[in-house]
Structure 1
Amino acid sequence: MLYQMAVQNPESEIDFVDRTFKRVRGRAASVIREDFCGTAYSSCAWVRRRKTNRAIGVDLHLPTLRWGERHNLSTLTEEQRSRVTLLHRDVMKVGGEGRGVDAVLAMNFSWFYMTERRALVAYFKSVRESLVDDGVLFMDIYGGYEATKEQVEKRRERGFKYVWDQAKYDPISGMQTAHIHFEFKRGPAMKRAFTYIWRLYSLPEVRDALMDADFKRVTVYWEGDDGKGGGNGVFRPATRGESCASFVSYVVAEK
């Protein structure tokens, strides 16, 4: 629950997916697949949006899926729950139930776990095969010159502090070790609540990998500036970006 409160914003994410799909394809998306879905937070947001929407969540970690069933799917109506399918599977082996979707979402940098480029390209190819003819893959990515810095950042949330700990970075392999901690006014901190050992890919790397997987068009959506050194939450297509300390962007790949 703390992770969802501090890190995820499914409504904003779904707003972007819904709006962008309609802009690039001229129609509304109906069926999405949420890869590495964890607690299926975004899948739940998707089926709430329209009665015609369906969501398929795929994750390899069964306890996390079960947590999502108890805490997220339980907030849906019975009719909404009937439009969510959770698959306890590897995203590379989704089977027929995970195919024929309008859009695939690979968010929260989860695809960084594919640390070998050939594995990443293979994943992109499998996604492409799972999409309908005019399907779209949506991903997010973070970077900037502070992304590789070994540092700790804290942010106050309601009732706790969220701590992002970039513990280790190897510039040769691109591998990064990072942790999320939670601190409280009372009681002990929750150290290393989550640990990530992944490859910090660059935008050119992921764009090239997507093109090698035969996606026809790959577009980076860059976030605007709020005038105070931060992002304004508005993402627009861009071919050039600013050399900034940190950024989060969307990558949209059209089949």
Structure 2
Amino acid sequence: MLDRFACYELCVQSPRHITAFLRALHGQHPTVLREDFAGTAAISRQWCLEAARAGESARAIAVELDAETSRRAAELMAESNLGASLKLIQGNCLALPCNGQQSDAADVVFVGNFSIGYIHDRQALVQYLTHSLNRLRRGNAGFGGGIFACDTYGGAGAFRLGGIERKHPGRRGEVIRYSWLHEHADPRTSTVRNSISFRVEINGEIAQEWPRAFVYEWRLWSIAELREAMAEVGFSDINVFKDVNVAPGETPRPVDNPAELGDDWIVIVAGRA
């Protein structure tokens, strides 16, 4: 049977595209991924699995605060037989060190699923970016040059209440109805409350249902705010990417013209250490 975490991975995430994008953006065979606000660590698992299939050495560090989510991440890691290549840390990735853990060096630091919005004030954002920059500068055997990347959304509808519903195929012929709802928005503070609900149908009958399976209270950072904070702490080559689907050997192309974004957009903002 599916659970809410499986529905999330099936309906929301695309680990294969993200890991390919991150590797291509780095451009120098990155080894160590740090995934903050990692959820079930789907990106980290994909990172390690791809390297194992290619006979390469790679590691990932996935940090998640929520206890239930961390337990599910550990179960999925065990099912994937990743061994020591993936380290799961249950703790606050905004704390340094995280739950007493040594601050690991990394070649790539990734914050996905709009989770940069868990940081609600600029001082905390700058502090987190500074810690991430320091991790990246210690990566690549001390030569640095790693990348930080996070996603965000915006546009004309960013603070408009309402939602969308989509259907996704399950693993065994189920139909998963996925609903994303903007429940509350305050443009004065750039804060939003969003929720995700799932309903699983088999042969037209409701088999499982999770109303408000995940609820998020985020600060919706603008592209400009993220770029300015990243530049302030010392990141360089800061760019915005709309398309994360990259072919083998292809270099991700940054957004050159604001018209490319359209009325509503999801982007990745990335910079180099």
Give the alignment's TM-score, normalised by structure 2: 0.83
Is the partner of 2:132 in helix, strand or coil? helix
Mapped partners of 1:176, 1:167: distance in 2 = 8
Q: Give 1:183 shift.
A: 2.6
Residue 43 of structure 1: aligned partner: 44
Q: Give 1:94 shift.
A: 4.8
- Specify which of 177, 180, 191 is matched with residue 193 of structure 2: 177
2:35 pairs with 1:34? yes
2:155 pairs with 1:139? no
Mapped partners of 1:216, 1:67: distance in 2 = 36
- Specify which of 204, 222, 234 is matched with residue 214 of structure 1: 234
- Specify which of 111, 125, 128 is matched with residue 106 of structure 1: 111
Map Cα deviations across residues 171-201 of structure 1 (whole Å, 9 max, x no partner): 1111111111113441574211111111111
| Number of matched pairs | 240
- Specify which of 179, 182, 198 is matched with residue 218 of structure 2: 198
Is the partner of 2:254 in helix, strand or coil? strand
Please tell me whether the aligned partners of residues 116 and 151 of structure 2 are also in contact (alpha carbons under 8 angstroms). no
- Specify which of 124, 127, 134 is matched with residue 129 of structure 1: 134
Please tell me whether the aligned partners of residues 33 and 98 of structure 1 are also in contact (alpha carbons under 8 angstroms). no
Q: Give 1:82 shift.
A: 1.5
Residue 182 of structure 2: aligned partner: 166
Q: Give 1:241 shift.
A: 2.1
Over the matched positions of the two proteins, sequence identity in percent amounts to 27
Q: Which letter does structure 2 place at the counterpart of 1:156?
A: K
Please tell me whether the aligned partners of residues 145 and 244 of structure 1 are also in contact (alpha carbons under 8 angstroms). no
Q: Which letter does structure 2 place at the counterpart of 1:119?
A: A
1:68-107 aligned at under 5 Å gives the runs 68-70=73-75, 72-77=76-81, 80-95=82-97, 97-107=102-112
Mapped partners of 2:209, 2:14: distance in 1 = 24
Q: Give 1:99 shift.
A: 2.2
Residue 258 of structure 2: aligned partner: 241
Mapped partners of 1:90, 1:239: distance in 2 = 35
Q: Give 1:75 shift.
A: 2.9
- Aligned-pair Cα RMSD in Å: 1.8
Give the alignment's TM-score, normalised by structure 1: 0.88
Is the partner of 1:52 in helix, strand or coil? coil
2:14 pairs with 1:9? yes
Structure 2 residues without counterparts, runs of 5 or longer: 1-5, 139-143, 170-174, 247-251
Please tell me whether the aligned partners of residues 116 and 152 of structure 2 are also in contact (alpha carbons under 8 angstroms). no
